[in-house]
């Protein structure tokens, strides 16, 4: 007869969390525990973290990140951070490394080796070859007394922290600390490299983030699709100015005799005029009622910055000007709604039975 399985001390049942308030308190405690660990890590970081960033910024080849298990998963995310902020990087799986992938490591590459314990067999097995083939090894590990730290050229010590997992087993606090420190080193390296917003835009062409990092010319309505009139025109003449094609814009851009923007008159301005029963002003010069203090932006401005202006000033139209203050297009709020996060209806989860 098969003997029943014996519960280990680690398999002791956890107290039930019955009420919604208790469950909320539990998740808050986990987040608070990890936040507290991050504060401790920040306070204990030494100049070796700066040295790691300096080496990373100076690397002529790539940063090769390696780690196993949860540390390996953190390593993959750090590769993404490095690559997107100007530092070429790739991940090397320790198990694949001993079957040929060590060939990806070159003499001008810098290795980041990740292991909280510093005793991961798979990482230690390839460490001698990594040191031999690369320009150096940076270790992100709990302390400077483990085998990985002893063999590395630069050790960034994270400290030892109790895991937020109630059992004290699942990597949680330790991986959060490793990710935060790795991000910090990567971002300092990016700054040392002189990585700019324009560089970031080149590396992020897709999605709403990519669009926000492009110039306003990419999304503005070109002049041929805008309403534009002389400041000497009447309100009626200006408001009947139509676009050659495309959708109607919500404002008329008013220019002087040399084509420079001097004012703006919106559909809202017209609506206010009619609400006040001032129809007799329709045949008066628009110069008398146009908005002269016009918020505009220059060609080449990042779309994200232009969106911030629209939101900050609570306006719906933003003229785009050339170096001589002449309109070349108009950014309309309706054209950028798609770049905002969609509001999703909250559907309550049904309890499982």
CA distance 157 to 177: 10
pLDDT for 342 equals 44
What class does CATH assign to 216-339?
A: alpha beta
pLDDT for 1 equals 40
CA distance 98 to 26: 42
Mean pLDDT over 278-303 rounds to 85
Strand-pairing partners, residue 140, are 114, 156
pLDDT for 211 equals 64
The per-residue pLDDT for range 66-106, each reduced to its tens digit, is: 999 999 999 999 999 999 899 999 999 999 999 999 999 99
3-state secondary structure of 254: strand
Residues 253/325, Cβ–Cβ less than 8 Å: no
- Using alpha carbons, select from 56, 59, 133, 55 the residue that is nearest to residue 92: 133
Sorted by where each begins, the domain ranges of the chain are 20-195, 216-339
DSSP notation for 88-142:
-EEEE-HHHHTTTGGGG--TT-EEEEE-SSS--HHHHHHHHHHHHHSSEEEEEES
Per DSSP, 66 falls in state E
pLDDT for 346 equals 41
- What does the mean pLDDT of the chain come to? 85
pLDDT for 305 equals 86
Q: Is the pLDDT of residue 245 over 60?
A: no
Worst-scoring range by mean pLDDT, 95-99, 215-219, 228-232? 215-219
Confidence of residue 268 (pLDDT cuts 50, 70, 90): confident
pLDDT for 208 equals 57
- Using alpha carbons, select from 288, 256, 246, 255 the residue that is nearest to residue 269: 288
pLDDT for 4 equals 40
pLDDT for 217 equals 87
With a pLDDT cut of 90, the percent of the chain lying above it is: 53
The per-residue pLDDT for range 293-339, each reduced to its tens digit, is: 889 999 988 888 888 888 888 888 899 999 999 999 999 888 776 55
For residue 81, give every residue at least 6 positions away whose Cβ sits within 8 Å of its Cβ, in sequence order, or none: 182, 183, 186, 187
Site of tokens 């001993």: 98
Detail the DSSP E strand segments found in 182-291. Answer: 221-222, 227-230, 251-255, 261-266
The per-residue pLDDT for range 107-145, each reduced to its tens digit, is: 999 999 999 999 999 999 999 999 999 999 999 999 999
Residues 137/153, Cβ–Cβ less than 8 Å: yes
Q: Is the pLDDT of residue 243 over 70?
A: no
CA distance 89 to 51: 18
Counted residue by residue, the chain has a size of 353
Site of tokens 């003499």: 107
pLDDT for 277 equals 80
Q: Which CATH superfamily hosts domain 20-195?
A: Glucose-6-phosphate isomerase like protein; domain 1 (3.40.50.10490)
pLDDT for 130 equals 96
**Which two three-digit tokens encode residue 77?**
């995310």
């Amino acid at each position: 007869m098969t003997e029943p399985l014996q519960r280990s001390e680690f398999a002791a049942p956890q107290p039930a969390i019955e009420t919604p308030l208790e469950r909320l308190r539990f998740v808050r405690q986990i987040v608070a525990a990890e936040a507290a660990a991050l504060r401790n890590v920040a306070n204990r970081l030494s100049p070796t973290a700066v040295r790691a960033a300096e080496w990373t910024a100076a690397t002529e080849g790539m940063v090769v990140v390696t780690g196993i298990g949860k540390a390996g998963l953190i390593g993959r995310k750090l590769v993404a951070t490095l690559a997107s902020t100007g530092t070429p990087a790739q991940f090397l799986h320790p198990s694949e490394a001993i079957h040929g992938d060590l060939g990806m490591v070159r003499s001008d590459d810098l290795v980041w080796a990740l292991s909280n314990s510093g005793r991961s067999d798979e990482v230690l097995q390839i460490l001698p070859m990594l040191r031999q083939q690369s320009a150096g090894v940076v270790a992100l590990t709990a302390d400077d007394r483990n085998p990985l730290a002893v063999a590395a050229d630069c050790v960034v010590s994270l400290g030892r922290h109790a895991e937020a997992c109630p059992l004290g087993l699942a990597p949680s606090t330790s991986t959060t600390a490793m990710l935060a420190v790795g991000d910090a080193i990567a971002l300092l390296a990016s700054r040392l490299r002189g990585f700019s917003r324009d560089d970031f835009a080149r590396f992020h062409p897709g999605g709403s983030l990519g669009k926000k990092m492009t110039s306003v010319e990419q999304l503005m309505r070109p002049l041929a699709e805008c309403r534009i009139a002389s400041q000497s025109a009447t309100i009626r003449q200006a408001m009947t100015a139509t676009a050659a094609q495309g959708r109607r814009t919500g404002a008329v851009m008013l220019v002087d005799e040399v084509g420079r923007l001097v004012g703006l008159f919106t559909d809202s301005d017209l609506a206010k005029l009619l609400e006040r029963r001032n129809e007799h002003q329709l045949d008066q010069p628009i110069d008398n009622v146009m908005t002269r203090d016009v918020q505009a932006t220059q060609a080449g401005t990042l779309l994200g910055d232009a969106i911030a202006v629209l939101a900050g000033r609570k306006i719906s139209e933003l003229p785009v000007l050339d170096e001589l203050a002449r309109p070349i297009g108009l950014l309309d709020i309706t054209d950028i709604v798609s770049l905002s996060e969609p509001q999703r209806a909250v559907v309550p989860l049904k309890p499982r039975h």
